Structure 1
Amino acid sequence: MTVSSKDVLRDTYGRLYGDFHWEVPPDFNIAAMCCSRWAADGERIAVLFEDDAGTSSTLSYTQLQEQATRLAAALQRRGAQRGDRIAIILPQRPETAIAHIACHLLGAVAVPLSILFGPDALAYRLQDSGAAYAIVDDAAAASLMETRTQCPALREVLAIDCDAGISWHVELMAPPEDFAPAATRAGDPAILIYTSGTTGAPKGALLPQSAILGNLPGFVASQNWFPQESDVFWSPADWAWTGGLMDALLPALYFGMPIVGYRGRFVPETAFRLMEKYGVTNTFLFPTALKMMMKSVPAPRERYRLRLRAIMSAGESVGDAVILWAQEALGVTINEMFGQTEMNYIVGNSAGKWPVKPGSMGRPYPGHRVAVIDDEGNPVAPGELGEVALHRTDIHGHPDPVLFLGYWNNEEATRNKFSGDWCRTGDLATPDADGYLWYGGRADDMFKAAGYRIGPAEIENCLVKHPAVQNAAVVPRPDPERGNLVKAFIVLAPGVERGPDADAALIADLQQHVRGKLAPYEYPKEIEFLEALPMTTTGKVQRRVLREREAQRQQ
């Protein structure tokens, strides 16, 4: 796809990218920039909260600062020091924001952990991080209690609305007395986030205080120049993950704007209701959520009064089917974004500033020197497949503040992440002549079938265009003659008829659907229907699980 002459007139990318310079102050603290500077305005709202039981509340920046200071002082009284790791095992709720701000006021390292972790997953991360303190509510209290004896470094647990430890509410009743916020440098450790583990054991990525600054160019661009007056942000992304913390909660607070926190299961109708009720203007919706919304509520503006002006999506390729639906059904062009825990928000789109090519990942965001490189670390030519990588410095030679400090207690993994000054992502893409990147899947997800190299993303996107398909995952099935066959696991859209005859007819229809749009060798020779795909808690499809299942079946 080429850029039209009309698009060229509104393509301001070259100027924005070339003129951008990093200005990172040597002294920098996330709490100061995301809360303290807004606290004097008693009317400014930080969090609009609601749960699935209908309970709602509002937290102002003034209250956020006061309660975070009380929490930091309480932790300090109990021995917490600068650099201590503090596990935050909470869902979307006001106390989660309070806990993060308190950690940075204290100069501690926040360790966000998902409430969906079972005892083993929780124990691994608590042990690996050496967390000295944990904050938990009833959602994860049982798992934490089961693992606590396995975590000798864990000294204290603050419990919210449960009996898992010291009462949060009692601790916050005490005045902060002479508590003084820690003075931190931009490069000081701030957040320890564990990778989702789609291709191996989770690793703890240690982020500096400056990482929030590194996120901002992409965040502002992907949210169509956030903030604007009366903007309200919401995302179903778990605040324990990079997508929820660095793409939603902290950037919204950095700009002093309100963010909606919802504690409950993701349901498409609920998502639309929340956006209508709170007047949400900006959101981050991962591709799986968008696909569910598209299939469940095809014409949302006929049922809901929406104020949406920007949608960012990341985690996997969205595909042009979803992008075209959003343009028609929501009046919004989705800005895809690409990044990782280790280097977030580095590539993407901004529909108002440069043309979006449906299906493309976008271009490198201002401030980030990104290339697609080969095995030797050299940039590939347009049209060639390679690995997406981020340089340690921007185009002007300034250090990129978004880059992680390293993997926690894993120097070898940190070294292996780099080729010289290029930090490798493990994700494949093809650059085009205009500088757009086209996603080719995880390097680990690529496979060969009958001598052809297959990437699952293109086939999955094609399958989702079929009205009967809600989501799809493509993996190799071992085959003695061809090496592998292309196999698709499919979650059907609501209301699709099932039964032996209906399934056989649908499989034939889906195969013909792909045959008619892609290369002959790409159509799925086998199709299996599932109630749900195996997913990480960040909404990414775990193709590794499906690959291993197929390999075991063949054995």
Structure 2
Amino acid sequence: MHFVDGTKEVKVNYGELYNKAIALATALSSPSPPKCALVLLPKIPEWWVVNVAGSWCGTIISPGTSLLTPGDVAHRLQESGADCIICDTEIAARMNDVSKNVPLKIVVAHEGADIIPGWISYDDLIKSVEGKAKTPCIKSRGEDIAQLFFTSGTTGKPKMVTHTQASYGIGQKVTTKYWLEVNENDLMWNISDTGWAKAAWSSLYVPFLAGATAFIHQKAKFDAKEVLHILNKYPVSVLCAPPTAYRAMVQCGLAQYPFHSLRHCVSAGEPLNPEIMETWTKITGLRIYEGYGQTETTLLCCMYKGIDYRPGSMGKPAPGYNLKVIDDDLNELEPHKEGYLAVSLKEGKPTGLFNGYLSNKKQTSKVFLGDYYITGDKAYYDEDNYFWFVGRADDVIISSGYRIGPFEVESVLIEHPAVVESAVVSSPDSLRGEVVKAFVVLADNYKDHRYEDLIVELQNYVKQNTAPYKYPRKIEFVKTLPKTISGKIRRVELRSNEWAKS
């Protein structure tokens, strides 16, 4: 693994990683390993060590982005029952109050940093088992949970998605071979935050399965020029990036940065505009191969070498998944008919598909219907079995690869005294694909305020009270919100009007 953060470079070979992971697993196992660890770490070597250690000793790993607020973390701790939290010093200071009742709190401290009382130093844990017998690898069962992710939905707080020891890692073999095409000679760079399932896919399992070198760049914010500089400077051969990154690079003087080693580019998280793909190919000579999957699955569909390249298509179903397009009555539709994208379960449950939302039978029953798993996306396929994305079937917003539930943003906005009611929908954006827009009904005593000031105030309020990436980049003040006869807000109407303007 090759780590770069702008000031220094660190290289960690798999032998070193393996030994540290076993040491950490041994330390965690005394007297018994934690049931579940909430891991909030940036792109540093310790994140990879913790993941391997968790599999070694049987601790469920629940990753989260470092952008989470104390309120977000409190919710995750309560829902998951996590009895361990692992983070760096900066995050530990922010989470100290909400994590007081967590039995084991581990901090990855920078050299010379003070350890907060009640927290245990990661380095001290590793050192504590030096010279001692190492704990043997746990004989886990196939159905044991390996990873627990939180994913945003249309209503309520994020749901818990679990993947098992027998299914998730093995399921990424298809991702490795057919979509990313990684081998042991590659230097692979996945631009993804460690809090997302995509990091588990392409920063953890894929390079491990291929024996490739994982290239990891840690920076607080995405910088297109810096990404181009890195691709020009380092021998990165495989790039996995969200559409936002490609759009930004195309608009940032792409031709000034020749790539000397890059041979394969893939995109995921949301659809990529065909015109961006064409420009990228024209300048670099490389095609961008789209892939589609979810937190609940492994790779479902992709463009891969060996099939005709069709820009804008999601490609063909990945081996192991039988994709169908169905209607409201679960009837399978013919080519070019729009419907719900679903995974057929008639031949059995595919490797890599989750079992259901943990402790949430209601939401599970909504996605497992009859002989299908319903993805929540709308699509169609053509006569050659290429699939084409149409849009979300629900109100979830996917912006710059971040999945944002409207309820999460509305719940924060309603806490502000200026807001009587709000509705949050997606709005088209040339760079991010779509962004969060809030329609707000103001309280009477705020209607005389300057709208420009109120917008900034509400945006800052959301940033302060939930993960900053969820804040509404657009806010429109309205007198009323469209509703059904039963009083439910018609987000679909607001969203349709918003996209009709583009």
TM-score, normalising length from structure 1? 0.70
What SS does the aligned partner of 1:170 have? helix
Deviation for aligned residue 1:185: 2.9
1:487-526 correspondence runs (5 A): none
- What per-residue deviation string (whole Å, max 9, x for no partner) do you get for residues 318-365 of structure 1? 010121122112222111111111113101110x21112111111111
1:121-200 correspondence runs (5 A): 121-149=72-100, 152=101, 154-161=102-109, 163-164=115-116, 165-173=119-127, 174-175=129-130, 176-197=132-153, 200=156
2:360 maps to what in 1? Answer: 410
CA 1:198–1:332 in 2, change beyond 3 Å: closer, same or farther?
farther
Contact kept in structure 2, 1:92 and 1:238, CA below 8 Å: yes
Deviation for aligned residue 1:310: 1.4
- What per-residue deviation string (whole Å, max 9, x for no partner) do you get for residues 20-44 of structure 1? xxxxxxxxxxxxxxxxxxxxxxxxx
In the alignment, is residue 103 of structure 1 matched against residue 54 of structure 2?
yes
Contact kept in structure 1, 2:235 and 2:260, CA below 8 Å: yes
CA 1:179–1:415 in 2, change beyond 3 Å: closer, same or farther?
same
1:217-228 correspondence runs (5 A): 217-223=174-180, 225-227=181-183
Q: How many Å separate the matches in 2 of 1:471 and 1:206?
A: 28
In the alignment, is residue 328 of structure 1 matched against residue 282 of structure 2?
yes
Percent of matched pairs sharing the same residue: 28
| CA-based RMSD | 2.9
Q: How many Å separate the matches in 2 of 1:357 and 1:198?
A: 31
Q: How many Å separate the matches in 2 of 1:475 and 1:69?
A: 43
Deviation for aligned residue 1:398: 5.0
CA 1:238–1:541 in 2, change beyond 3 Å: closer, same or farther?
closer
Deviation for aligned residue 1:199: 5.9
In the alignment, is residue 251 of structure 1 matched against residue 206 of structure 2?
yes
What amino acid maps onto 2:208 in structure 1? L
Contact kept in structure 1, 2:172 and 2:205, CA below 8 Å: no
Deviation for aligned residue 1:276: 3.1
In the alignment, is residue 347 of structure 1 matched against residue 301 of structure 2?
yes
Deviation for aligned residue 1:75: 0.7
1:23-422 correspondence runs (5 A): 47-52=1-6, 54-77=7-30, 79-81=32-34, 84-149=35-100, 152=101, 154-161=102-109, 163-164=115-116, 165-173=119-127, 174-175=129-130, 176-197=132-153, 200-209=156-165, 210-223=167-180, 225-227=181-183, 230-264=185-219, 265-299=221-255, 302-350=256-304, 352-392=305-345, 397-422=347-372
Contact kept in structure 2, 1:218 and 1:366, CA below 8 Å: no
Contact kept in structure 1, 2:320 and 2:351, CA below 8 Å: no
Deviation for aligned residue 1:430: 1.6
Q: How many Å separate the matches in 1 of 2:211 and 2:377?
A: 34
Deviation for aligned residue 1:545: 5.2
Contact kept in structure 1, 2:207 and 2:214, CA below 8 Å: yes
Q: Displaced runs of 4+ in structure 1, greater than 4 A?
A: 197-200, 474-478, 539-542, 544-547, 549-555
What SS does the aligned partner of 1:115 have? coil
1:425 maps to what in 2? Answer: 375
CA 1:262–1:196 in 2, change beyond 3 Å: closer, same or farther?
farther
Q: How many Å separate the matches in 1 of 2:388 and 2:196?
A: 25
Deviation for aligned residue 1:197: 4.5
Contact kept in structure 1, 2:317 and 2:323, CA below 8 Å: yes
Q: How many Å separate the matches in 2 of 1:72 and 1:203?
A: 28
CA 1:475–1:277 in 2, change beyond 3 Å: closer, same or farther?
closer
Contact kept in structure 2, 1:72 and 1:103, CA below 8 Å: yes
What SS does the aligned partner of 1:140 have? helix
Q: How many Å separate the matches in 1 of 2:178 and 2:75?
A: 36
CA 1:280–1:325 in 2, change beyond 3 Å: closer, same or farther?
same
Deviation for aligned residue 1:541: 9.0
What amino acid maps onto 1:333 in structure 2? R
- What per-residue deviation string (whole Å, max 9, x for no partner) do you get for residues 291-321 of structure 1? 111111331xx33443111111111110101
What amino acid maps onto 1:443 in structure 2? A
1:419-498 correspondence runs (5 A): 419-445=369-395, 464=430, 470-473=431-434
Contact kept in structure 2, 1:135 and 1:157, CA below 8 Å: yes
What amino acid maps onto 2:209 in structure 1? Y
What SS does the aligned partner of 1:406 have? coil
2:407 maps to what in 1? Answer: none
Q: How many Å separate the matches in 2 of 1:206 and 1:66?
A: 27
What SS does the aligned partner of 1:424 have? strand
Contact kept in structure 1, 2:40 and 2:65, CA below 8 Å: yes
Contact kept in structure 2, 1:343 and 1:404, CA below 8 Å: yes
Q: How many Å separate the matches in 1 of 2:283 and 2:197?
A: 28
Deviation for aligned residue 1:399: 3.5
Structure 1: tracts of 5 or more residues without a match: 1-46, 447-455, 465-469, 479-530
What SS does the aligned partner of 2:377 have? strand
Further displaced range: 98-107 or 56-65 = 56-65
What amino acid maps onto 2:270 in structure 1? E
Contact kept in structure 1, 2:228 and 2:257, CA below 8 Å: no
Contact kept in structure 2, 1:115 and 1:139, CA below 8 Å: no
Deviation for aligned residue 1:552: 4.7
Q: How many Å separate the matches in 2 of 1:306 and 1:282?
A: 12
TM-score, normalising length from structure 2? 0.77
What amino acid maps onto 2:103 in structure 1? R
Q: How many Å separate the matches in 1 of 2:365 and 2:269?
A: 24
CA 1:114–1:553 in 2, change beyond 3 Å: closer, same or farther?
farther
What amino acid maps onto 1:306 in structure 2? H
Q: How many Å separate the matches in 2 of 1:314 and 1:472?
A: 12
- What per-residue deviation string (whole Å, max 9, x for no partner) do you get for residues 365-390 of structure 1? 11111111111112111111111111
What SS does the aligned partner of 2:191 have? coil
Contact kept in structure 2, 1:222 and 1:311, CA below 8 Å: no
